[in-house]
Structure formats: C-alpha cells, structure tokens
C-alpha cells in the first residue's frame, strides 16, 4: 500500500501563542550592560578630551600694557627765563587713557601756561578743542597760533610725538614770540625724555 505524503495545510487563521501586549523579558546582562556602557563611554570621552586639551596647550593671553606717551608728562622746571610754578595733572574726557598736564610759568613779568595733552594726532582739532580760535600756521613746523577764548590773548599749539603742546599767554605777548617760546618748550620736553 502506498501512502500519499501528507501535505501540511495552513490553518484558516493564525492565533498568537502569547498575547500581543506581553513584553518579552530582557536578559539580565542586557539590562546591566546599557548603563555600564554609557558610564564607560563618558569616562573614556573625559580622559581623551582632557588629554587632547593638555597636548594642544593653550597659551594664556598676556594683557598688553596701556600705551604710554613718548615724552615724560612732566613739564620742564625752566625754559629760558620762564620758571615753572603750579602743576596740575588730570585725565581727559576722551579718549581712554588721555592725560593732561598743565603748568604755570613766569619770569617775574611775563606769564604763560604750558599744557601737554596725550594722545593727540591732529593739531587743528587740538587747538580748536583747547579753545583757540582763528588759528593759522606761524613759523612753520606745524605750529598753529590764534586767540585763546579764555584769555583773549595769543595761544600756540603743535603736535610732537603724539603729544599736544599748547602755550597760552597770560600777559601780553606777540604771536611770533609765543611760537618761538613753544619751540623752546618742545626742545626742553624732548630733552627730558
């Protein structure tokens, strides 16, 4: 007798062996390995990051010092027959680090005020800001002279080594004479340093 091989037949509908909402439990080693792997990666990342940070070596920035004037901001004791009297020093309203030194000079008869302002770079702006109007070049070499709004007498100014030099007459002076005296003040300041 011959048997015909049985052919499996698919059931009409499949039914799950377990309910669909049942979550299969994870093995214990998977539950422990996840957080352990995270800790290992964080520690390893910190070690590598720290090593790279040290090997590159960041140079700490060194603060650059404030700029300093080319001249010593101390008016000369004596220029020709003019002897220094009271000296006042102050900081200007702008730019940052601006220094202004003012000194009174007298020879017993004639009186002038010498002002050093640092930093300055434009003589026209400097004399205008100092209250000198009608400024014109006198004697060459960038010296501008005009009339001081404060004294209504001559005043002369110039820029030397980034420092504004201003000489104001307090007693009667000829403008050309004041320009010559300003040149003598500049020489004395340059000689001092």
The pTM of this model reads 0.65
Locate the domains of the chain by residue range.
27-56, 78-192
Q: Compute the mean pLDDT over every residue in the chain, rounded to the nearest whole number.
A: 84
Query: What tokens does 122 get?
Result: 């434009």
Q: DSSP states of 119-159 as a string?
A: S---HHHHHHHTTEEEEEE-SSTT-EEEEETTTSSEEEEEE
Average pLDDT over residues 97-107: 92
Each residue of 9-42: pLDDT tens digit? 666 776 666 666 666 777 777 777 777 888 888 8
CA distance 71 to 122: 17
Q: 129: how many CB neighbours lie within 10 A of its CB?
A: 15
Domain 78-192 has CATH 3.30.200: yes
128-137, Cβ contacts within 8 angstroms, sequence gap of 24 or more: 130/155, 130/157, 130/164, 130/166, 131/155, 132/157, 132/166
User: Rounded to an integer, what is the distance from CA 34 to the centroid of its chain?
Assistant: 52
Each residue of 122-139: pLDDT tens digit? 999 999 999 999 999 987
Nearest one of 81, 89, 127 to 105, comparing CA atoms? 81
């Amino acid at each position: 007798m011959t048997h015909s091989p049985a052919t499996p037949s698919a059931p009409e509908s499949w039914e799950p062996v377990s309910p669909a909402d049942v979550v299969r439990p994870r093995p214990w080693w998977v539950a422990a390995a996840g957080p352990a792997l995270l800790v290992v990666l964080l520690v390893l990342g910190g070690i590598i990051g720290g090593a790279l940070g040290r090997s590159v070596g960041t140079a700490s920035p060194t603060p650059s010092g404030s700029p300093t004037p080319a001249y010593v901001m101390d008016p000369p004791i004596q220029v020709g027959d003019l002897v220094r009297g009271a000296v006042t020093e102050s900081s200007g309203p702008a730019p940052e680090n601006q220094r202004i030194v003012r000194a009174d000079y007298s020879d017993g008869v004639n009186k002038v005020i010498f002002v050093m302002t640092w930093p300055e770079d434009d003589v026209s702006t400097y004399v205008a800001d100092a209250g000198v109007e009608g400024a014109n070049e006198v004697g060459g070499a960038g010296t501008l002279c005009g009339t001081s709004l404060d004294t209504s007498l001559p005043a002369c100014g110039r820029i030397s080594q980034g420092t504004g030099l201003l000489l104001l007459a307090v007693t009667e002076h000829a403008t050309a004479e004041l320009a010559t005296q300003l040149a003598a003040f500049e020489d004395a300041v340059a000689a001092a340093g």
